[in-house]
Amino acid sequence: MTRKSAMTASGGLKLSVAALALALSAGSVAAQAGGGSNVLRIAWPWDPSTMDAQMHRQRYTQIVSHAMRDKLMYQEPPGLALVPLLATSVTQIDETSYDVHLREGVLFHNGDEMTAEDVAFTFERLWDPATESPRARMGNMGNIDRVEVIDRYTVRWHTKIPFGPPASAILGFHFSGQEILHKATYENLTIEQARTHPPVGVGAFRYVEWLPEQRMVVEAFEDYWQGPPTIDGVIWRTIPEEATRVAELLAGSVDMIHPVTPDFVDQLRGAGMKLEIVAGTNMRMLMMNVREGSPFHDPEVRRAMNMAIDKQGIVDFLYAGLGVVATQVPGDGQEGHIEGYSPFSFDPEAARPVLSQVTQPIEIFTQGVWQLPAEVIAEQLRGYGMNVTTVVLDDATFNQVNESGNFDLLWAGAGYGSGDFTGAYYNNHFECVRLETDRVRTGFCNEELDGKMAAIRTEADAETRQALLDEVIQELTEVHMPWVPVFNAAEVWAMQPYVNGFRGSSAGQYFNLHRVSLDR
């Protein structure tokens, strides 16, 4: 018996060797955190909430997930346009059937080839009510009937309604929002086990270590289908304070930091650091609790709030112009954004008579990285006689408060990295069905508006569809007003001069880490 067959014949020995290899990898990559190595060290304020690619709605968790698992399609930096990744093409069979053709020869980290079975399982698990995935209705997934394995490299999507030609159908499928899982691994894990289980993916990097609130470590996967990464691995360090992240970069303890606010841009440039600046797709807005019992249940109060905040002043003085004032619910460059549409101007005199009557104590909940703009907004609202204070929450508590809707005001963000409005964005923030999965948020729900959105999703005529979408945008922005849209900040990364090949994504993603080199 050969050494290889002996190892295969003994499941226990095979498991032990795998565990030993993982432990050695952890020591090898983590040991390079001190500098002078070929491991990219990134400092950021976040920590992934889970290792399960289907049990979150956070951008930073998806960044880590994508490093280890690829998607069917992705948005090539710096823009939002979809390009094939694990899918090579999509063919329309009839009005409600689409064949997705997969790349051949793609290997998982354990050596198994990715097949149609893995892809079908990924989406079946996603949509299974027992999973209770917060990602299950992204895109237009609510109108997908099922997936069917046609052959080893073809999966057929069956939809409940026509999705249109493949170019528009792929937006509804939301292929850029879901990493592919290894069926043999995840079909044997409970949801709780999957939260911390080492991911098995087909991405450029494989799991080494996750120490919550400390660091996330991955190493290069030499058999990656696009070729082995240039770097040996990546270490994300969780450092909540931006000043500390900047100090670590200047001291050479890390190679890259993100996000960077305008307060530190000049200092970093002066120190010779490279900056990557990309127009962002994360709108910052003030979410208002519109449910009965809240002062913001009154639409006139919400209307006054939309006239009360000096958005341009925030962009100019807090962000040194590295941002765009938001005037409507969809962000700049997003589907549905109406060019030139700005129903509310900054009008303190119009806002004052209404807001001065709101006298009960009100808290604005925010995260540490966004504390400064939240404080400025609170001060502006106090200028109208409102009793407003700011409360900074840790990320986990903030996410829980956001989902439960247990707030007066929430200084939050809405990412639209996919570029779509009619799918994940509308569903996540406005569609009534989200309440069934405890995504309360502002508490806003309007079934008539949902009906119009359903009509938009099935409308084949482009002109009619656009007219309906304009109507929905205008109703949300100036009739229902669950938000005060404030601005879109730029995405800014700072890095050492020797870091080459990184391209920032307008969605704040790190899609091309496998192409980064450290040319010390």
Residue spans of the chain under pLDDT 50: 1-24
Phi-psi domain of 117 (left: phi exceeds 0; alpha: psi -120 through 50; beta: other)? alpha
Q: Has residue 371 been placed in a domain?
A: yes
What is the spatial distance between Cα 44 and Cα 42, in angstroms, rounded to a whole number?
A: 7
Residue 363 lies in a domain: yes
What pLDDT is stored for residue 420 in this prediction? 79
The verdict on 515 and 429 lying in the same domain is no
The reply to whether 218 and 289 lie within a common domain is: no
Within a domain: 234 = yes
- 3-class SS at 201? coil
Task: Please indicate, yes or no, whether the overall pTM of this predicted structure exceeds 0.75.
Answer: no
CATH number at residue 213: 3.40.190.10
Domain of 301, in residue numbers:
282-489
pLDDT value at residue 15: 37
Asked whether the beta carbons of 389 and 361 are under 8 A apart, the reply is yes
Final residue belonging to a domain, choices 165, 190, 215: 190
Residue 369 and residue 420 share a domain: yes
Burial bucket for residue 519 (CB in 10 Å: 0-12, 13-18, 19+): exposed
CA gap 14, 354 in Å, rounded: 70
Q: Are residues 106 and 45 located together in one domain of the fold?
A: no
pLDDT score at 59: 87
Question: Tell me, what's the pLDDT at 175?
Answer: 92
Q: Are both 164 and 311 inside the same structural domain?
A: no
Q: Is residue 7 part of a domain?
A: no
274 and 301 share a domain? no
3-state helix, strand, coil split of the chain in percent (to 5) is 40, 20, 40
Same domain, residue pair 184 and 226 = no
In a shared domain, residues 405 and 514: no
Q: What is the CATH number of the domain that holds 378?
A: 3.10.105.10
CB 325 within 8 A of CB 317: no
Look at the chain and report how many structural domains it folds into: 3
What pLDDT is stored for residue 81 in this prediction?
75
Alpha-helical regions (H) of 383-434: 395-404, 424-429
Beta-ladder partners of 89: 101
Tell me which of 190, 221, 248 is where a domain ends: 190
Q: Does some domain include residue 11? A: no
Same domain, 65 and 126: no
269 & 342 share domain: no
Rounded CA separation 156/145 (Å) = 11
Contact indicator for 241, 235 with CB cutoff of 8 Å: no
Would you state the pLDDT for residue 11? 36
CATH number of 83's domain: 3.90.76.10
In a domain, 1, yes or no: no
pLDDT of residue 19: 44
**β-strand 215-220 against 205-211: which pairing, if any?**
antiparallel
97 shares its domain with 50: no
Long-range contacts of 101-108 (CB under 8 A, 24+ apart): 101/153, 101/154, 102/72, 102/153, 102/154, 102/155, 103/153, 103/225, 104/153, 105/225, 106/70, 106/202, 106/225, 107/202, 107/223, 107/225, 108/182, 108/200, 108/201, 108/202
Helix orientation angle between 348-355 and 299-308, rounded to the nearest 10 degrees: 140
pLDDT digits (tens, 9 = 90+) for 198-226: 999 999 999 999 999 999 999 999 999 99
Domain assignment present for residue 177? The answer is yes
Q: Is residue 128 part of a domain?
A: yes
Residue type, 11: G
Both 386 and 238 in a single domain?
A: no
